[in-house]
DNA sequence: ATGACTAAACCTTTTAGA
């Protein structure tokens, strides 16, 4: 079984690239972020033709997330229950798999950007991260088999940053953000990609400006976290830079996880 | 250089992303 996450930075613009990528990489599940469209504009038919069921949670102009699955997903939940939010950032669903106990809960999330430490948006990011952690803690009790993936907008440490000195305590790299990320991990989650040897300077996002991709000036901010129960099943995890080489690419690359399930 | 690209909307200028 393969799962992926990709911040597409406008599904309207990127739909042809998403369809191409899914044809070349027929994953079982993909979480998309930054749809930047309302649900009435969502390309259900094109994705259905490509073999995917869609659960979407759209928003005009900004944000918007979706889960595409080869088999129908159940128990869809939008955003963080109990946390009032006017932004469409989280979508969750269950993949019925084998018996009931083997069901996998998949959470696709677009974490707040935060703009700059000390800003109102950074405060919102901190509150959002606190609410997420409380919720994930209870989700793990309900669903031992859990995958939390998406655009986290946080680097784990300096290995995830092309210029750790220049970006020290800058947005995506602050200790406050990293503390929240480590707190999520402490609930019993694992950064899938770090379970394996990875190439150095392995990033998932590059600025559109200044030829950042060609110079590999990037950040690793897109992650796939798996629960303790799923960790033994993780076979591989990697970042696919191929679509970043397209014409008019998203600024993010997909991350792909392979589980030893069929 | 609170810059550089890209996308969307209140669209020749602003907001936001990261």
Q: Which of A74, A71, A78 is nearest to A56 (CA)?
A: A78
Band the pLDDT of A57: cuts 50, 70, 90. Answer: very high
CB A75 within 8 A of CB A87: no
Q: Is residue A110 pLDDT above 80, yes or no? A: yes
**3-state SS class at A242:** helix
DSSP-assigned letters across all residues of A180-193: HHHHHHHTTEEEGG
For chain A residues 36-75, those near strand B by a CB cutoff of 7 A are: 36-37, 60-62
CB of A222 within 7 Å of some strand B atom: no
* Catalytic sites of A, residue numbers: 110, 151
C-alpha torsion angle, residues A79, A80, A81, A86 (rounded to 10): -60
Query: Checking phi first, is residue A104 left (phi over 0); if not, alpha (psi -120 to 50) or beta?
Result: beta
State the Cα–Cα distance between residues A139 and A137, nearest whole angstrom: 6
CB of A204 within 7 Å of some strand B atom: no
Q: Is residue A103 pLDDT above 80, yes or no? A: yes
- Tens of pLDDT, residue by residue over A127-155, are 999 999 999 999 999 999 999 999 999 99
Domains in chain A, CATH or no CATH each: 2-259 (3.60.10.10)
State the Cα–Cα distance between residues A97 and A223, nearest whole angstrom: 23
The secondary structure element, H or E, covering residue A49 is helix A44-49
- Tens of pLDDT, residue by residue over A32-55, are 999 999 999 999 999 999 999 999
State the Cα–Cα distance between residues A253 and A239, nearest whole angstrom: 7
């Amino acid at each position: 079984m393969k799962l992926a996450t990709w911040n597409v930075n406008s599904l309207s613009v990127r739909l042809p690239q998403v369809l191409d990528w899914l044809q070349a990489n027929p994953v079982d599940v993909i979480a998309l972020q930054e749809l930047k469209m309302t649900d009435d504009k969502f390309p259900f038919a094109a994705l259905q033709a490509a073999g995917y069921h869609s659960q979407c949670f759209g928003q005009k102009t900004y944000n918007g997330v979706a889960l595409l699955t080869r088999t129908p997903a159940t128990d869809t939940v939008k955003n963080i229950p109990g946390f009032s939010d006017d932004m469409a950032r989280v979508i969750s669903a269950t993949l019925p798999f084998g018996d009931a106990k083997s069901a996998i809960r998949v959470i696709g999330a677009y974490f707040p950007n935060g703009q700059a430490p000390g800003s109102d948006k950074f405060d919102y990011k901190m509150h959002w991260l606190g609410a997420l952690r409380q919720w994930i803690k209870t989700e793990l009790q309900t669903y031992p088999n859990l995958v939390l993936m998406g655009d986290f907008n946080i680097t784990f440490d300096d290995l995830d940053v092309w210029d750790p000195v220049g970006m020290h305590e800058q947005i995506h790299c602050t200790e406050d953000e990293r503390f929240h990320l480590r707190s999520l991990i402490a609930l019993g989650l694992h950064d899938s990609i770090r379970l394996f040897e990875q190439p150095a300077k392995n990033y998932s996002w590059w600025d559109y400006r200044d030829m950042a991709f060609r110079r590999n000036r990037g950040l690793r901010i897109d992650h796939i976290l798996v629960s303790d129960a799923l960790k033994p099943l993780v076979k591989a995890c990697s970042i696919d830079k191929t679509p970043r080489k397209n014409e008019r690419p998203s600024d993010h690359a997909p991350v792909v996880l392979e589980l030893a399930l069929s």
